[in-house]
Structure 1
Amino acid sequence: MSNDTNMRRRRRPGENAGRSGRRSPRTPPADSPSAIYGFHAVSEALKNPERKIHRLVATANALNRLKGLVPDMEWPEPSTTREMDKLLGSDTVHQGVALFCDPLAEPELSDCIGADMIVALDQVTDPHNVGAVLRSAAAFGATFLIMTDRHSPPETGVLAKTASGALEHVAIVRVRNLSNALEELRDAGFHLLGLDGEAADALGDEPVPKPAVLVLGAEGKGLREKTAATCDRLVRLPTRPPIASLNVSNAAAIALYEAGRSERR
């Protein structure tokens, strides 16, 4: 960690060191890309040296919990729940803590080379689903999440809270064309495994070669035709009637677990 980063992380969040008299920038609204809330999301962001932090707002209870997890920081004066509701909106489940910071820098597709497991989402637009997929990816060892520039959610507070800290550990890569990106990864040695409810083969019938990209489509639509055609193999989850389909985030968790389990067999 550089000296500049160490200095920044010891500074009181929101303090403009060396610039007394300047007004700090207006705090963005809670649904902007720079607002993160929820205890796990904020605590992991505070521990991430890549985060550029502008302001931390938290209740006394939340601050006490954070102090045990994030050492070597100066802390702001506590806020009340009422003040936080006014700042973030009364319907925001902030758990007593919010962090205003810059979005993380997003890597290039070439940075994925060397990864063991990657998740790719084909036009999954719901930030709750994407956040939950990020959480499963972090839990089961996937280090990158690929999405398209269009038809995918930005890094918002909703996404970060649902990811429960995983946003700091799984890098999001945005590409213009998903099929082209998958072909580049295949050329680099990745096996492309697509999840399709109509596939003949079930997940788990054969081991998953590594490195691999697990490709999932949006709920209802599933994988687009070109995306499915780009995959090396299509598999389905071995579900049973009367409920034969799962939410995309649940499907991702099961597929990631099975991919890791097949490697251990």
Structure 2
Amino acid sequence: MAKSQKPGRAGAVRKSSKGRAVGSGGQGRQALEGKKPTPKAEDRPYHPAGKAKAARERYLAAGGKGRPGARSSTEKARDAQRGTAAPARRVKKTDDSEMVTGRNSVLEALRTRVPATTLYIAARLEMDDRVKETLSIATRRGIPVLEVMRPELDRLTGPDAVHQGVALKVPPYEYAHPESLLDQIEDRGEVALLVALDGVTDPRNLGAIIRSTAAFGGHGVIVPQRRSVGVTASAWKTSAGAAARIPVAMASNLTQTLVALKQRGVFVIGLAGDGEVSLPDLQLIDQPIVIVVGSEGKGLSRLVTDTCDAVVSIPISSATESLNAGIAASVTLYEIARRRAEG
């Protein structure tokens, strides 16, 4: 009798052969071979260079001449006759405005009537007495007040500015012409008393000189176009509002401007510590005068010194080396005003 075989349990039978191996079919080899060379930009229809090439080919195929997209002379003439010529290109204008930042600085600028175009206030700013007075003055003067977010105010004032949530935009100063300034003085029948700056770069000195010029009967201040300070917000504040009454003229070349003034009868007086004429001994006080003030460090330049009719020194104590530009100009203006008043 044949013995019956019991079915084995699942998984107990071990295969004797792994079977036939399956290959990749050459797929890996094709991947390693890569694709064809990358076509040029102008040969790719989706690329901007390819679209431009296609436009040129269509333009030339249509019999066009010149640059694709350019207006022909016939079209330009037709538009000119119709009065519909293409608009001129807009030139981007540079903004020379200055930003005064900080609660104290902005309030002081508004108190001294510094010309301003816009007051910027940060959103959700904590109000104190300075901010309230700033808003009151700006509203009374009709200055636009804009509330902006702090990131925008940071961008407007620059990365290094400490604005405390308040900034004031000051427009660029409008300078007069030196000879036009002299014309206005002569038209009023007055004897000119001007101050010219040679290399003065501190705006506080300029502001102090403008203030002294107004206090002692001067008519204006002349600043050179290069290597000199201009009328900034800091100069406005130091002048205590005098910059609104005393005109400031800008000379493209200070030496040539002084020569032109001399030709019109104005005497040029330079200030220097080693001047050959002492201020109390200065003559021609009743004549038109322009006082030239040099920088505290370098003094008057050589060309300006050669142009002066006289180089004047201010008597001071031997314990003091020199006076800064603002004080030297103030003392000279006072002395000339005093002697003119005495006749």
* TM-score with structure 2 setting the length: 0.56
Does the 8 A contact of 2:207 with 2:235 survive in 1? Answer: yes
Aligned residue for 1:202?
278
> CA 1:249/1:93 → structure 2, altered by over 3 Å: closer, same or farther?
farther
Question: Among 156, 178, 194, which residue is 1:109 paired with?
Answer: 178
> Does residue 55 of the first structure (1) align with residue 131 of the second (2)?
no
In the alignment, the residues of structure 2 paired with residue 260 and residue 97 of structure 1 have an alpha-carbon distance, to the nearest angstrom, of 41
Matched positions, count: 227
Does the 8 A contact of 1:191 with 1:209 survive in 2? Answer: no
In the alignment, the residues of structure 2 paired with residue 260 and residue 40 of structure 1 have an alpha-carbon distance, to the nearest angstrom, of 30
> CA 1:39/1:150 → structure 2, altered by over 3 Å: closer, same or farther?
same
In the alignment, the residues of structure 2 paired with residue 260 and residue 38 of structure 1 have an alpha-carbon distance, to the nearest angstrom, of 34
Question: Among 294, 301, 310, which residue is 1:224 paired with?
Answer: 301
In the alignment, the residues of structure 2 paired with residue 239 and residue 252 of structure 1 have an alpha-carbon distance, to the nearest angstrom, of 14
Aligned residue for 1:119?
195
Alignment partner of 1:45: what SS? coil
Question: Among 138, 151, 154, which residue is 2:227 paired with?
Answer: 151
In the alignment, the residues of structure 2 paired with residue 70 and residue 230 of structure 1 have an alpha-carbon distance, to the nearest angstrom, of 49
State the shift of 1:197 in Å.
1.0
State the shift of 1:257 in Å.
0.9
> Does residue 136 of the first structure (1) align with residue 212 of the second (2)?
yes
Does the 8 A contact of 1:137 with 1:256 survive in 2? Answer: yes
The answer to which structure, 1 or 2, has the higher relative contact order (CA under 8 A, 6+ apart) is 1
Aligned residue for 2:49?
none
> Does residue 233 of the first structure (1) align with residue 310 of the second (2)?
yes
The one-letter code matched in structure 1 to 2:261 is L
> CA 1:72/1:227 → structure 2, altered by over 3 Å: closer, same or farther?
closer
State the shift of 1:76 in Å.
4.5
Question: Among 243, 250, 257, which residue is 2:327 paired with?
Answer: 250
State the shift of 1:191 in Å.
1.8
* Residue deviations 1:121-175 (CA, integer Å, cap 9, x gap): 1111122222222222222232321111110123333333223323222222221
In the alignment, the residues of structure 1 paired with residue 334 and residue 144 of structure 2 have an alpha-carbon distance, to the nearest angstrom, of 39
State the shift of 1:178 in Å.
0.9
Aligned residue for 2:99?
35
State the shift of 1:86 in Å.
11
Which stretches in structure 2 are left out of the alignment for 5+ residues?
1-94, 122-126, 186-191
The one-letter code matched in structure 1 to 2:247 is A
The one-letter code matched in structure 2 to 1:218 is S
In the alignment, the residues of structure 1 paired with residue 264 and residue 257 of structure 2 have an alpha-carbon distance, to the nearest angstrom, of 11
Q: CA RMSD in A?
A: 3.5
State the shift of 1:259 in Å.
1.2
Does the 8 A contact of 2:119 with 2:138 survive in 1? Answer: no
> CA 1:166/1:94 → structure 2, altered by over 3 Å: closer, same or farther?
farther
In the alignment, the residues of structure 1 paired with residue 139 and residue 290 of structure 2 have an alpha-carbon distance, to the nearest angstrom, of 33
The one-letter code matched in structure 2 to 1:182 is L
- Tell me the percent identity: 32
> CA 1:74/1:215 → structure 2, altered by over 3 Å: closer, same or farther?
closer
In the alignment, the residues of structure 2 paired with residue 149 and residue 170 of structure 1 have an alpha-carbon distance, to the nearest angstrom, of 18
Alignment partner of 2:113: what SS? helix
State the shift of 1:94 in Å.
8.7
Which stretches in structure 1 are left out of the alignment for 5+ residues?
1-27
> Does residue 211 of the first structure (1) align with residue 291 of the second (2)?
no
The one-letter code matched in structure 2 to 1:134 is I
In the alignment, the residues of structure 1 paired with residue 144 and residue 97 of structure 2 have an alpha-carbon distance, to the nearest angstrom, of 23
Aligned residue for 2:237?
161
